[in-house]
């Protein structure tokens, strides 16, 4: 997953309507005085670190100096400054030019970006009630701020003037793209609407900002709320030592020494489902998981989700689109909902057939286990794990000792070194976003500084679940000077306990490589404009650099380089990785059905054509029945915890992972043909994909790299669905 810090448009803009500035500043002032008592305690001699250079190596944020009280005043000032900058552009007496309008607008708002990047990374990884309150208060204010820029008539006239004269400007491709995108963003932001409709749009945007923030906060609370506490050792039946150890460690951390605690965090939940022979307890934790946000309490997300969907239709309709999906997809490679459905239908039937075969095998296992009745969703993980052991003599317990986190990380760095010549040096003199995080300086092959990379691996209550990449500073060039990126990778892997280091499952190893692929996209960016740099590409293209990295994990020569037993240092035995290879299609029916059902559900919510607020659960089950989802498999994300689409940037975009799978499988074929570490192929991938950001059309970039259109056969073959 890739988490864009700016859920709202990352266009740096402002607004110049003075009255509105006053209004918003009043709202902010009220917010501060009414809800944040700490603000009052700030004395004049306290210096807000955002108002001067950080004075740290590479100007990384001064995490050691930044306090919660600094955010509101800094954002308030940043909004004011941003507005003044927009005012300067609008009031420029000279005729509009690319430089004095398009480029000037792109460069504006740098303070706001600087503060927001720190703030939103922090609310994702180390939040607290105070930060969440600030985020909720800020959501409508920032939404209004950006609307005031996009709906600024005088500014739009200047942009339009430049745009209409584009043929005569002699712009390079990146400048052309910046102009094109800027103009389109205004149009898509409502610049051509009449004033009444603009007023409605503002309200819709503000409510959406509040609702999506609330959705994410609720989900975090729900993840933390559920606790399966075991105090009778007999209830641990089936759990291997590493799972018991995690349970013991989590219980201790929660003040429940001597007991075992299992939570809805993936490193706790999944092994429990895979190994616990206690069917009732599996059911309990499974039901806890699939009912997150659906407990009819203060953190219920059902009505929020359906309200968000209705507001999105309203917005799409205002802007002249039939549905939200049409509005979103216009900017993606897929272009239309029909293209998305075509892709999903390509895999859906084959995946269902495969999943039904898998189900039959699991039912036999269950029968042999002496359990009568129907195979239930909470049985799938358990019997799949048993079957995997039986068929391939392979399970996570056997593999994990070979995947010690730091050894895997080194293996990952080595892959980047062989492909792109990068080297990584851990630094201990740079402030970190959290004490558990690591910081690396990244060098290009000629030894020049390329980027700063933070890595934050372990779960905690203040951190959202899942894995993602984000940035504290995107790469850009200002007056010929290269501004290097500051990137972060956030994971939720098992923490080291006692003498046992953090040991990963094979899937977690792939996740690490996946996020590292996003990080490379951010770190190797070589663009001029921040708005187009790094991962600022269309949603269905952004998963190509991440997913392609997962391919190297499956290659014996790569795996052997880092998979070493954490106790003995012995490399993974050849027969083990042969088993890994042999089992690569195992349970793929399940995985593909679980995923594709979620992609369908996303499209269902976003191809609604009216603004009726639906009853969430009956809508969901109706839509999943339509595609014939089998009852033994629960959609990967049910609506109340589908944060990708209701809190993140993947609405009408969850299909992107599958779309990008076509691209990554096809792109990796180039490495298979020429060599896993073939320099020319790697350099071409770097030059055409990783360095280019969103400066050119993604399909054009892809074809430049591959020399042909992408084909779906390699993806189908990899999944065993051809
Ligand atoms: Zn991703």
Q: pLDDT (tens digit, 9 = 90+) per residue, 223-245?
A: 999 999 999 999 999 999 989 99
Tokens of 231: 């105090």
Q: Residue 638 to residues 272, 392, 557: CA-CA distances in angstroms?
A: 20, 32, 39
pLDDT above 70 coverage of the chain, percent: 94
DSSP category for residue 441: E
Residue by residue, what is the 3-state secondary structure of 352-368?
HHHHHHHHHHHHHHHHH
Confidence band of 44 (pLDDT split at 50, 70, 90) = very low
56 vs 63: CA distance, rounded Å: 10
226 vs 281: CA distance, rounded Å: 13
Q: Is the pLDDT of residue 124 over 70?
A: yes
Q: Is the pLDDT of residue 42 over 70?
A: no
| Centre of ligand 1 from the C-alpha of residue 447, in Å | 28
| Centre of ligand 1 from the C-alpha of residue 656, in Å | 9
Q: What's the pLDDT score for residue 1?
A: 59
Q: Is the pLDDT of residue 319 over 60?
A: yes
Q: Is the pLDDT of residue 37 over 80?
A: no
Find the mean pLDDT for residues 520-527: 98
Is 50 strand, coil or helix? helix
Catalytic residue among 515, 550, 620, 691: 515
Residue 424's CB is within 10 A of a number of other CB atoms, namely 18
234 vs 242: CA distance, rounded Å: 16
Confidence band of 465 (pLDDT split at 50, 70, 90) = confident
Q: Is the pLDDT of residue 7 over 60?
A: no
Q: What's the pLDDT score for residue 30?
A: 43
513 vs 480: CA distance, rounded Å: 33
Residues with CB under 5 A from ligand 1 (ion): 1-2, 546
Q: pLDDT (tens digit, 9 = 90+) per residue, 132-163?
A: 999 999 989 999 999 999 999 999 999 999 99
Cα–Cα nearest to 586, from 316, 341, 339, 358: 358
| Centre of ligand 1 from the C-alpha of residue 709, in Å | 22
Contact by Cβ (8 Å): 5, 117: yes
Find the mean pLDDT for residues 566-573: 94
| Centre of ligand 1 from the C-alpha of residue 520, in Å | 12
Q: Is the pLDDT of residue 394 over 90?
A: no
Confidence band of 22 (pLDDT split at 50, 70, 90) = very low
435 strand-pairing partners: none
- For the chain, the straight-line distance linking the first and the last C-alpha, in angstroms and rounded, comes to 27
Q: What's the pLDDT score for residue 466?
A: 87
| Centre of ligand 1 from the C-alpha of residue 419, in Å | 20
665 vs 146: CA distance, rounded Å: 38
Confidence band of 513 (pLDDT split at 50, 70, 90) = very high
Confidence band of 464 (pLDDT split at 50, 70, 90) = confident
| Centre of ligand 1 from the C-alpha of residue 3, in Å | 8
Q: What's the pLDDT score for residue 29?
A: 44
Q: Is the pLDDT of residue 9 over 80?
A: no
Q: Is the pLDDT of residue 15 over 60?
A: no
| Centre of ligand 1 from the C-alpha of residue 664, in Å | 12
Q: pLDDT (tens digit, 9 = 90+) per residue, 158-215?
A: 999 999 999 999 999 999 999 999 999 999 999 999 999 999 999 999 999 999 999 9
Confidence band of 2 (pLDDT split at 50, 70, 90) = low
Contact by Cβ (8 Å): 361, 385: no
Q: pLDDT (tens digit, 9 = 90+) per residue, 575-620?
A: 998 898 888 889 999 999 999 999 999 999 999 999 998 999 999 9
Confidence band of 125 (pLDDT split at 50, 70, 90) = very high
411 vs 390: CA distance, rounded Å: 30
What is the side-by-side strand order in the sheet with 438-443? 423-426, 438-443, 449-456, 486-490, 468-473
Q: pLDDT (tens digit, 9 = 90+) per residue, 101-114?
A: 999 999 999 999 99
Select the more confidently predicted residue: 396 or 596.
596
Q: Is the pLDDT of residue 318 over 80?
A: yes
Tokens of 140: 């409508």
| Centre of ligand 1 from the C-alpha of residue 557, in Å | 24
pTM: predicted TM-score of the whole model, two decimal places = 0.88
Find the mean pLDDT for residues 476-500: 93
Cα–Cα nearest to 554, from 507, 594, 522: 507
Residue 367 makes CB contacts below 8 A (sequence gap 6+) with none
Q: pLDDT (tens digit, 9 = 90+) per residue, 626-684?
A: 999 999 999 999 999 999 999 988 999 999 999 999 999 999 999 999 999 999 999 99
| Centre of ligand 1 from the C-alpha of residue 529, in Å | 23
| Centre of ligand 1 from the C-alpha of residue 580, in Å | 23
Cα–Cα nearest to 246, from 524, 497, 485, 520: 497
Q: What's the pLDDT score for residue 396?
A: 83
453 strand-pairing partners: 440, 487
Contact by Cβ (8 Å): 310, 611: yes
| Centre of ligand 1 from the C-alpha of residue 488, in Å | 13
| Centre of ligand 1 from the C-alpha of residue 544, in Å | 8
| Centre of ligand 1 from the C-alpha of residue 321, in Å | 28
Q: Is the pLDDT of residue 702 over 80?
A: yes
Average pLDDT, the chain: 92
**Residue whose entry in the numeric block shows the structure tokens 């290879």:** 581
Residue 160's CB is within 10 A of a number of other CB atoms, namely 17
Active site residue 397: no
Residue 708's CB is within 10 A of a number of other CB atoms, namely 10
Residue 317 has phi, psi (to 5 degrees) of -60, -45
| Centre of ligand 1 from the C-alpha of residue 616, in Å | 27
């Amino acid at each position: 997953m890739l988490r864009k810090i700016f859920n709202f448009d990352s266009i740096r803009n402002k607004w110049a309507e003075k009255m509105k500035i006053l209004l918003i500043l009043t709202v902010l002032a009220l917010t501060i005085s009414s809800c944040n008592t700490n603000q009052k305690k700030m004395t004049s001699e306290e210096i807000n670190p955002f108002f001067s250079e950080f004075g740290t190596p590479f100007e990384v944020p001064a995490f050691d100096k930044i306090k919660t009280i600094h955010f509101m005043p800094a954002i308030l000032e940043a909004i004011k400054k941003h507005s003044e900058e927009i005012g300067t552009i609008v009031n420029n007496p000279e005729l509009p030019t690319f430089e004095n309008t398009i480029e000037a607008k792109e460069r504006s708002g740098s303070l706001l970006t600087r503060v927001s990047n720190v703030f939103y990374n922090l609310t994702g990884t180390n939040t607290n009630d105070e930060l969440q309150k600030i985020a909720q208060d800020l959501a409508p204010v920032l939404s209004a701020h950006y609307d005031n820029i996009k709906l600024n008539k005088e500014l739009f006239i200047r942009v339009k003037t430049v745009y209409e004269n584009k043929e005569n400007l002699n712009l390079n491709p990146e400048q052309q793209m910046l102009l094109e995108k800027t103009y389109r963003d205004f149009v898509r932001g409502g610049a051509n609407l009449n004033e009444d409709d603009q007023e409605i749009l503002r309200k819709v945007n503000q409510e959406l900002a509040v609702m999506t923030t609330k959705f994410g906060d609720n989900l975090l609370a729900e993840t933390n709320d559920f606790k399966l506490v075991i105090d009778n050792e007999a209830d641990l039946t089936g759990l291997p030592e590493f799972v018991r150890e995690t349970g013991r460690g989590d219980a201790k951390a929660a003040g429940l020494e001597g007991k075992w605690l299992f939570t809805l965090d993936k490193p706790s939940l999944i092994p429990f489902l895979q190994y616990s022979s206690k069917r009732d307890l599996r059911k309990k934790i499974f039901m806890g998981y699939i009912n997150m946000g659906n407990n009819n309490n203060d953190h219920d997300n059902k009505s929020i989700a359906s309200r968000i969907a209705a507001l999105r239709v309203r917005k799409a309709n205002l802007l002249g689109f039939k549905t939200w999906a049409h509005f979103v997809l216009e900017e993606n490679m897929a272009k239309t909902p029909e293209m998305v459905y075509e892709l999903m239908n390509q895999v859906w039937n084959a995946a269902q057939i495969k999943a039904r075969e898998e189900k039959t095998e699991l039912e036999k296992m269950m029968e042999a286990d002496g359990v009568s009745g129907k195979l239930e969703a909470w049985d799938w993980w358990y019997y799949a794990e048993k079957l995997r052991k039986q068929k391939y003599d392979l399970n996570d317990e056997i593999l994990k000792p070979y995947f010690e986190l730091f050894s895997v990380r080194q293996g990952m760095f080595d892959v980047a070194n062989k492909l792109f010549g990068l080297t990584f040096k851990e630094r201990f003199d740079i402030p970190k976003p959290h004490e558990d995080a690591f910081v690396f300086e990244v060098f290009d092959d000629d030894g020049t500084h390329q980027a700063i990379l933070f890595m934050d691996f372990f779960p905690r209550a203040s951190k959202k679940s899942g894995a993602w990449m984000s940035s504290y500073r995107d790469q850009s060039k200002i007056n010929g000077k290269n501004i290097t990126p500051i990137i972060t990778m956030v994971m939720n892997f098992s923490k080291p306990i006692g003498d046992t280091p953090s040991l990963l499952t094979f899937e977690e190893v792939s996740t690490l490589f996946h996020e590292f692929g996003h990080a490379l996209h951010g770190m190797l960016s070589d663009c001029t404009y921040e708005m187009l740099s790094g991962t600022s590409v269309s949603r269905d293209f952004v998963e190509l650099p991440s997913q392609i990295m997962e391919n190297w994990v499956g290659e014996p020569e790569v795996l052997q380089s880092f998979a070493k037993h954490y106790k003995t240092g012995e490399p993974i035995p050849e027969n083990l990785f042969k088993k890994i290879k042999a089992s690569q299609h195992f349970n793929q029916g399940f995985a593909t059905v679980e995923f594709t059902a979620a992609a369908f559900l996303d499209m269902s919510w976003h191809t609604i054509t009216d603004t009726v607020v639906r009853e969430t659960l009956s809508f969901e089950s109706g839509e999943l029945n339509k595609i014939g989802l089998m009852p033994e498999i629960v959609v990967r994300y049910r609506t109340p915890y589908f944060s990708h689409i209701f809190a993140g940037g993947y609405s009408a975009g969850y299909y992107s992972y599958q779309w990008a799978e076509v691209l990554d499988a096809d792109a990796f074929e180039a490495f298979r043909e020429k060599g896993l570490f073939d320099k020319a192929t790697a350099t071409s991938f770097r030059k055409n994909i990783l360095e280019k950001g969103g400066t050119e059309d993604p399909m054009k970039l892809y074809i430049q790299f591959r020399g042909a259109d992408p084909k779906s056969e390699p993806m189908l073959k990899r999944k065993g669905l051809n």
